[in-house]
Structure 1
Amino acid sequence: MKASRRFAGAVLAVLAAVVIPAWAETPGEPAATATPGLTISGAGATFPAPLYQRWILDYREVRPDLTFTYDAKGSGEGVKRFLAGTVDFGASDAALSDAELKQVDPQRGALMIPMTAGMVVLAYNIPGVAEGLVLSREVYVDIFAGRIRQWNDPRISAANPGLTLPAKAIVPVVRRDSSGTTFVMTNHLAHVDPGWSQQGPGVGKLVDWPGAAMTASGNAGVAQRVKITDGSIGYMEYEFAERLGLPIAILHNKAGQPIIPSPAAGQAALASVTEIPADLRVFVPDPEGSDAYPIVSYSWLLLNARYAEPAKAAALKDALAWGLDQGQLVARDMGYVPLPAAMIAKASEVLARVE
């Protein structure tokens, strides 16, 4: 079952836009017996796209009368379309800012609900280094700041005495599109090194990366670029690196401990936040705890508080309630970080307010 899930997710993630007709023909069952129902459209983050696409497939068995579409174009595009009211829901790895909330039509309003969480990993392609690369906080900041440019730099070698690192240029791979994953990454780098914001690229969904960085669109694009580029290192959601079999760096966390990304390490990071605000905007830029993975984020769905079609509101509430319950098991199996029980409870309360 796990292998089939991964295969389905891999196929779906290749598509920029996914349409799963809930009344599509089932083997052995004539299509004429099915009746079309509601279509619910969404767009946004590539970070959770494989999970959302898997949920669409699984939920079809629960509600065969619904069609969900999800256009994985990046968090920035998801926010843009949600604010314009051209989709029924948006998806972003960066919660709406106060300025963005002011742009929402007050008649429909906006609610933000974390549906999953994940780890941003640094995957690499270093000839002769198949695994085990360790990067300290200061080193990976300086790699993306363009201050460390060779893999055999003494600072990298010092943390990796058992590896033979080549005298090869480091090629950072970054996002060219407006990306929530970029927001998560740059927000973390700014907390590790204040100079990242003061003299460097700053924090945002789209930043001007220093040096000769290579660009790609989407998490899948970054992962594929790393896979085919010798000397490269790129940031992406864990699932994308795992799917392509990319080596993943072991990162030092705030406590100075080297951490291999795992669901347990991701959950330890989320557990470092003990208070959840009413609007559910929780950022975890540099988690405390010796067992916490250092780069973790929630991923939000952006919903109208009030929908013009009551049936659409009811269908969304049912589907997302399923996602907050059974969908979390799927998230765990796919390498995402299941939501803490406290966040699920708060998210369910907010979901109940959708009209």
Structure 2
Amino acid sequence: MFHRVGFIARGLAGAFAVMTFGTAHSSGLTLTGGGSSFAAPLYRAWGAELHRQTGLSLTYRSVGSGEGQKLVMAGAVDFGASDLPLAASVLRTRELYQAPTAIGAIVVVINVPGVASGQMKLDGPTLAALFDGAITSWADPRVRALNPGLRLPDLDVLPIHREEASGTSQVFSSYLHAVAPDWKAGMWGDGSEARGNDGVAASVRQSVGGIGFVEYAFARRDRLNTVRLKNHAGQFVAPGKAAFTSAAFSMDWTHADHYAVRFLEAPASQAWPIMSATFVLLPIHPADRAKAAAVKTLFRYALKQGDDIARDLDYVPLPPSVKDTVLSGWP
């Protein structure tokens, strides 16, 4: 669960955020959404900005992508939120529409004494070995070889990963498998589990020797130290807006099945290698047409007018042509 967003200007807090947005014609309606914690900072910030303009309320539960898929399939929410795109066969069987809302980056965060943010460089196989327990000390020769001149302590590595079904975990595991083919989902070494991006961020901050993976907004909020990663082009890249945008705009959206772009293969030389679109899932044949129209109002506003908020939170807005296609296909 996303416990708090540290953007004071937006003044949001709490385990369950009630956000208000819509139009005057929607006054009195309450929408429900749930799922992705990856997208929680963005949906909360969009809601805060729109609060003054609307009479439509939304209760959004940040419970993880897997739960978001279950909730919308069970008809328990007006829309689900997931970082795991569903296959076309599932969308067809369940009569769901899947649409991206923004693109975010997953970053690796560490708590290693004497190592500042951006100083450590890691490649895929070394990162996989840190998470599966093959590397147990930060002074391991494989880490040293990538970081000549960097003073690394002989300190135990404490890998931290998500405990619940998570889109962030799925994307990160897919990356590890792509760069280290022997890696399989669930091959976590001796370490600890935490719930949500928020929980992983807190655990890394509190664990000397810790390493974890979180959506970038959580790393920036908690001022966690990030690492440089070797990308598909062989370059060591630091996380940031330029690297995220480079990845997002170098991808082929036209031929992606239901917008399921595979960002792990972004070809641009300065592209950040671990990114994901975040998606909304909604019924094609909703029981409540008024609520379905209100959901469309919400995301039309977000896609047409929410880019500055997305950028402030270090997400990358969708390319304009993708937004147009998403909205034109909305049921």
Q: TM-score, normalization: structure 1?
A: 0.86
Name the counterpart of 1:256: 234
The alpha carbon displacement at 1:298 in A equals 0.3
Cα distance change of structure 1 residues 148 and 55 upon mapping to structure 2, 3 Å threshold: same
Cα distance change of structure 1 residues 16 and 8 upon mapping to structure 2, 3 Å threshold: farther
CA distances 1:222-243 after superposition (whole Å, capped 9, x unpaired): 0000000000010000000110
Distance 2:38 2:155 in 1: 30
Note if 1:61 corresponds to 2:52. Answer: yes
> Contact 2:30/2:58 (CA < 8 Å) preserved in 1?
yes
Name the counterpart of 1:7: 8
- Out of 137, 140, 151, the position equivalent to 2:127 is 140
Distance 1:126 1:294 in 2: 22
- Out of 170, 191, 194, the position equivalent to 1:213 is 191
Distance 1:5 1:187 in 2: 29
Note if 1:175 corresponds to 2:162. Answer: yes
Distance 2:266 2:214 in 1: 18
> Contact 1:191/1:286 (CA < 8 Å) preserved in 2?
no
Distance 1:280 1:116 in 2: 11
Cα distance change of structure 1 residues 178 and 317 upon mapping to structure 2, 3 Å threshold: same
- Out of 80, 105, 109, the position equivalent to 1:119 is 105
The alpha carbon displacement at 1:22 in A equals 5.8
Name the counterpart of 2:39: 48
Note if 1:336 corresponds to 2:323. Answer: no
Name the counterpart of 2:140: 153
- 2:105 partner amino acid: M
Distance 2:190 2:71 in 1: 31
Name the counterpart of 1:237: 215
- Root-mean-square deviation (Å): 2.0
- 2:228 partner amino acid: I
Distance 1:341 1:315 in 2: 22
> Contact 1:286/1:295 (CA < 8 Å) preserved in 2?
no
Cα distance change of structure 1 residues 342 and 142 upon mapping to structure 2, 3 Å threshold: farther
Cα distance change of structure 1 residues 82 and 76 upon mapping to structure 2, 3 Å threshold: same
Note if 1:166 corresponds to 2:190. Answer: no
> Contact 1:157/1:165 (CA < 8 Å) preserved in 2?
yes
Distance 1:286 1:22 in 2: 36
SS at match of 2:314: coil
CA distances 1:91-119 after superposition (whole Å, capped 9, x unpaired): 00001134643652xxxx21011001111
Name the counterpart of 2:267: 288
CA distances 1:13-38 after superposition (whole Å, capped 9, x unpaired): xx332113569xxxxxxxxxxx9510
Name the counterpart of 2:96: 110
Note if 1:193 corresponds to 2:180. Answer: yes
Name the counterpart of 1:224: 202
Note if 1:78 corresponds to 2:57. Answer: no
SS at match of 2:329: helix
- Out of 93, 99, 116, the position equivalent to 2:83 is 93
Distance 1:22 1:340 in 2: 24
- 2:237 partner amino acid: I
Name the counterpart of 1:18: 17
- 1:62 partner amino acid: Q
- 1:112 partner amino acid: Q
Cα distance change of structure 1 residues 103 and 48 upon mapping to structure 2, 3 Å threshold: same
- 1:76 partner amino acid: G
Note if 1:311 corresponds to 2:287. Answer: no
**Structure 1 residues not aligned, in runs of 5+:** 24-34, 203-207
SS at match of 1:20: strand
- 1:114 partner amino acid: P
Distance 2:231 2:209 in 1: 24
Task: After superposing the two structures, state which structure 1 stretch, 122-131 or 169-178, moved more.
Answer: 122-131
SS at match of 1:285: helix
Aligned length: 322
SS at match of 2:279: strand
- 2:81 partner amino acid: A
The alpha carbon displacement at 1:62 in A equals 2.7
Distance 2:328 2:27 in 1: 31
Distance 1:8 1:307 in 2: 36
> Contact 1:43/1:70 (CA < 8 Å) preserved in 2?
yes
Q: TM-score, normalization: structure 2?
A: 0.92
> Contact 1:267/1:340 (CA < 8 Å) preserved in 2?
no
**Structure 2 residues not aligned, in runs of 5+:** none
SS at match of 1:236: strand
Cα distance change of structure 1 residues 169 and 21 upon mapping to structure 2, 3 Å threshold: same
CA distances 1:284-330 after superposition (whole Å, capped 9, x unpaired): 12322211001010000111112222221221111101111211210
Task: After superposing the two structures, state which structure 1 stretch, 47-56 or 95-104, moved more.
Answer: 95-104
- 2:15 partner amino acid: A
Distance 1:253 1:156 in 2: 17
> Contact 2:253/2:259 (CA < 8 Å) preserved in 1?
no
Alignment of 1:23-34 (within 5 A): none
